[in-house]
Structure 1
Amino acid sequence: MNDDERIGRWLEALALILDRAAALAERGEEDFHADPALPLAFEALSNRVGDLAKRLIHADPERFRRSEWRAAARHRDFVVHHYDRLDEALLWQTVTRGFPELAAMVDQERRDAR
């Protein structure tokens, strides 16, 4: 598999993960704080988003140079290594504000690749 195919596969996976995050976020902030499973799900999704962002940056640093890609990777590192210090309000904002912006970038990358 060449780099373009690998990048395409990672973008596809990232789009799916971001869609799942959006579906969970649609439950609303009240459910997010009331259901202990939702913050944990958001942590897991943040890990996957950040991991894929890291792979994309590594595969093509010029193409994935925008700060949003690096922010996703850094957020993943914080979630994974400092989960005991996570702020639920910040996690909610990341998934409801940052992830949709990243999803738009993923969609644009996928369109540009066609």
Structure 2
Amino acid sequence: MMDRRTAKELLHVEGWLARSAEIVARGKDAYLSDAMLQEAGDSLMMKLGEAAGRLDRLDVPAPNGVQWSDAISNRNFLIHQYDEIDREISWGTLSVDLAGWQRAVTELVAQANDAIDRDQRG
């Protein structure tokens, strides 16, 4: 059974993945020409990297197609090498990698929702 802390972290991940999908839905040209969308994407990727680190420390196995370590490395790069960000690569992360995450975490998110529901029922 999933604990509340893990469940809450996974629900945060679900929300951030949904927001990243909203950026992708605006299209690559919009992303590449809009500094605000780029900053929003960076923020979401940093949050996902932090969450990946927390989930890894909680011994939550990454689902197929997801590597917690990749997200953690990406977070660290965005924070420490922000002046070296390649927007083509960050677009690929948002539009391909995180879209794959969204599909991959579906079962974990369902378990997280169940855990929160059980916790609220007492």
Decide: shared fold, TM above 0.5.
yes
Paired amino acid for 2:67: E
Is 2:92 the counterpart of 1:93? yes
Superposed displacement of residue 65, structure 1: 7.9
Structure 2: 5+ residue runs without aligned partners? 115-122
Structure 1: 5+ residue runs without aligned partners? none
Normalized against structure 2, the TM-score is what? 0.83
Is 2:89 the counterpart of 1:64? no
CA RMSD of aligned residues (A): 1.8
Cα distance in structure 1, aligned partners of 2:100 and 2:72: 15
Bigger CA radius of gyration: 2
Output one character per residue of 1:52-92: Cα deviation in whole Å (capped at 9) or x when no partner.
Answer: 0100000115x238662111111111111101001000000
User: Does the 8 A contact of 1:49 with 1:72 survive in 2?
Assistant: yes
Cα distance in structure 2, aligned partners of 1:69 and 1:105: 12
Is 2:28 the counterpart of 1:19? no
Normalized against structure 1, the TM-score is what? 0.88
Q: Could you tell me which residue of structure 1 aligns to residue 109 of structure 2?
A: 110
User: Does the 8 A contact of 2:14 with 2:109 survive in 1?
Assistant: no
Percent of aligned pairs sharing the same letter = 26
| Greater RCO, CA 8 A, separation 6+ | 2
